[in-house]
Chains A and B, each alone.
Chain A
Amino acid sequence: MNILYIEDEPDVVTLVSMYVNSAGHSLTVVKDTDEARRKFAFQPDLVLVDVRLRHRNEGRDFVRELRAQGYEGVVVAVTAMSSPQDVEANYEAGFTEVLLKPFTIDQLADVVARYTPA
Chain B
Amino acid sequence: MTASNYVTSSDPKNHDLAYDIQPDLDDQAQAYFKWVLGFTVGVAGVMFGFFAVSNNLLPVPWLWLGLFIGLSFFAYQRKRLNVSIDLYFVAIIGVFTFLLAEYGPTPTQITLLMIPIIVASLVAKKRLRLVTAAVVILEVLVVSSKLNGFFAALPSVIVPITINILLVFVSQFREADILDTVYWATDIQKKDRRRAESFYQQREELNAALLQLAHTHSKLETINAQLAQTNIDLAAAREKADRVSQAKSVFLSNMSHELRTPLNVIIGYSSSMLRMPQMFQHVPMPEIYKPFIQLIEDNGHYLVGLINDVLDLSKIEAGKLELHPTNLELPELLRGIISTSIGLIKDKPLTIRPDFPDDLPSVWADPMRVRQVLLNLMSNAIKFTHTGSITLSAQRVGDMVSISVIDTGIGIAESAQRAIFDRFQQAAQNIEVQYGGTGLGLDISKQLSLMHGGDLTVSSVVGQGSTFTLTLPLAAYVQPELEHTPDGELAAADLALEGSIPVSDRNCFVLVAEDEVNSREFIKQTLENNGYRTIHTHDGQEAVEFAAGFLPDLIILDAHLPTLSGWKALKVLKDQPETAHIPVIIYAAEEHSDMAATLGAALFIQKPTTAELLLERVEQITVKAES
Hey, which bits of chain A sit against chain B, CB under 8 A? Answer: 9, 11-12, 15, 18-19, 22-23, 52, 80-84, 101-106, 108-109
19 contacts between A and B (CB under 8 A): A11-B265, A12-B261, A12-B265, A15-B268, A19-B279, A22-B276, A22-B278, A80-B257, A80-B260, A80-B264, A82-B256, A83-B311, A101-B264, A102-B263, A104-B267, A104-B271, A104-B297, A105-B276, A108-B268
Q: Name the distance in Å between B511's Cβ and chain A's nearest Cβ.
A: 28
Tell me if B346 counts as interface (CB < 8 A to partner A): no
A12 touches B264 (CB 8 A): yes
Residue from B253, B264, B368 within 8 A of A103 (CB atoms): B264
B267 touches A81 (CB 8 A): no
A22 touches B279 (CB 8 A): yes
A102 touches B257 (CB 8 A): no
* Chain A neighbourhood of B300, CB < 8 A: 102
Expressed in whole angstroms, the Cα–Cα distance for A114 and B376 within the complex equals 30
* Chain B neighbourhood of A103, CB < 8 A: 264, 267-268
* Chain B neighbourhood of A15, CB < 8 A: 264-265, 268-269, 272
* Chain B neighbourhood of A104, CB < 8 A: 267-268, 271, 297
* Chain A neighbourhood of B304, CB < 8 A: 102
Q: Given the interface contacts A19-B276, A22-B276, does A106 sit within 8 Å of B256 by beta carbon? A: no
Expressed in whole angstroms, the Cα–Cα distance for A104 and B276 within the complex equals 10
The count of chain B contact residues (Cβ–Cβ below 8 Å) is 27
B265 touches A105 (CB 8 A): no
Q: Given the interface contacts A15-B265, A102-B264, A104-B297, does A80 sit within 8 Å of B271 by beta carbon? A: no
List residues of B (246-286) whose CB comes within 8 Å of A's CBs: 253, 256-258, 260-261, 263-269, 271-272, 275-276, 278-279
Expressed in whole angstroms, the Cα–Cα distance for A108 and B267 within the complex equals 12
Known: A84-B368, A105-B271, A106-B275. 4 other contacts (CB 8 A): A15-B268, A15-B272, A18-B272, A104-B271
Q: Name the distance in Å between A15's Cβ and chain B's nearest Cβ.
A: 4
Expressed in whole angstroms, the Cα–Cα distance for A103 and B265 within the complex equals 9
Among A9, A104, A106, A109, residue most surrounded by chain B Cβ atoms (within 10 Å)? A104
B268 touches A12 (CB 8 A): yes
* Chain A neighbourhood of B266, CB < 8 A: 102
Q: Name the distance in Å between A8's Cβ and chain B's nearest Cβ.
A: 10
For the complex of A and B, list the 10 residue pairs with the smallest distance between their C-beta atoms, beginning with the closest. A80-B260, A102-B264, A104-B271, A102-B263, A105-B272, A22-B278, A101-B264, A102-B267, A105-B271, A15-B268
Q: Name the distance in Å between B260's Cβ and chain A's nearest Cβ.
A: 4
A-B residue pair count with CB separations less than 8 angstroms: 70
Expressed in whole angstroms, the Cα–Cα distance for A103 and B266 within the complex equals 10
Among A9, A11, A83, A102, residue most surrounded by chain B Cβ atoms (within 10 Å)? A102
* Chain A neighbourhood of B268, CB < 8 A: 12, 15, 102-105, 108
* Chain A neighbourhood of B256, CB < 8 A: 80, 82-83
Q: Name the distance in Å between A27's Cβ and chain B's nearest Cβ.
A: 13
B297 touches A83 (CB 8 A): no
Q: Name the distance in Å between A109's Cβ and chain B's nearest Cβ.
A: 7
Expressed in whole angstroms, the Cα–Cα distance for A15 and B311 within the complex equals 27
* Chain A neighbourhood of B260, CB < 8 A: 80, 82, 101-102
A106 touches B271 (CB 8 A): yes
Q: Name the distance in Å between A39's Cβ and chain B's nearest Cβ.
A: 23
* Chain B neighbourhood of A22, CB < 8 A: 276, 278-279
* Chain B neighbourhood of A12, CB < 8 A: 261, 264-265, 268
Residue from B261, B272, B276, B308 within 8 A of A80 (CB atoms): B261
Nearest residue, chain B, Cβ from A100:
B260
Residue from B257, B265, B267, B279 within 8 A of A18 (CB atoms): B279
Expressed in whole angstroms, the Cα–Cα distance for A77 and B266 within the complex equals 20
* Chain B neighbourhood of A52, CB < 8 A: 257
Q: Name the distance in Å between B585's Cβ and chain A's nearest Cβ.
A: 32
B261 touches A9 (CB 8 A): yes
List residues of B (453-473) whose CB comes within 8 Å of A's CBs: none
Q: Name the distance in Å between B344's Cβ and chain A's nearest Cβ.
A: 15
A23 touches B278 (CB 8 A): yes
* Chain A neighbourhood of B368, CB < 8 A: 84
Nearest residue, chain B, Cβ from A9:
B261
Expressed in whole angstroms, the Cα–Cα distance for A102 and B260 within the complex equals 6
Q: Name the distance in Å between A105's Cβ and chain B's nearest Cβ.
A: 4
Q: Given the interface contacts A15-B269, A83-B311, A106-B271, does A101 sit within 8 Å of B279 by beta carbon? A: no
Nearest residue, chain A, Cβ from B311:
A83
Residue from B257, B269, B276, B322 within 8 A of A109 (CB atoms): B276
* Chain B neighbourhood of A105, CB < 8 A: 268, 271-272, 275-276, 279
Expressed in whole angstroms, the Cα–Cα distance for A103 and B269 within the complex equals 10
* Chain A neighbourhood of B272, CB < 8 A: 15, 18-19, 105
Q: 1/0 contact trace for B278-302 toward A, CB 8 Å? A: 1100000000000000000100100
Expressed in whole angstroms, the Cα–Cα distance for A9 and B260 within the complex equals 12
Among A22, A23, A81, residue most surrounded by chain B Cβ atoms (within 10 Å)? A22
Among A52, A80, A106, A109, residue most surrounded by chain B Cβ atoms (within 10 Å)? A80
* Chain A neighbourhood of B278, CB < 8 A: 22-23
Q: Name the distance in Å between B275's Cβ and chain A's nearest Cβ.
A: 6
Nearest residue, chain A, Cβ from B252:
A83
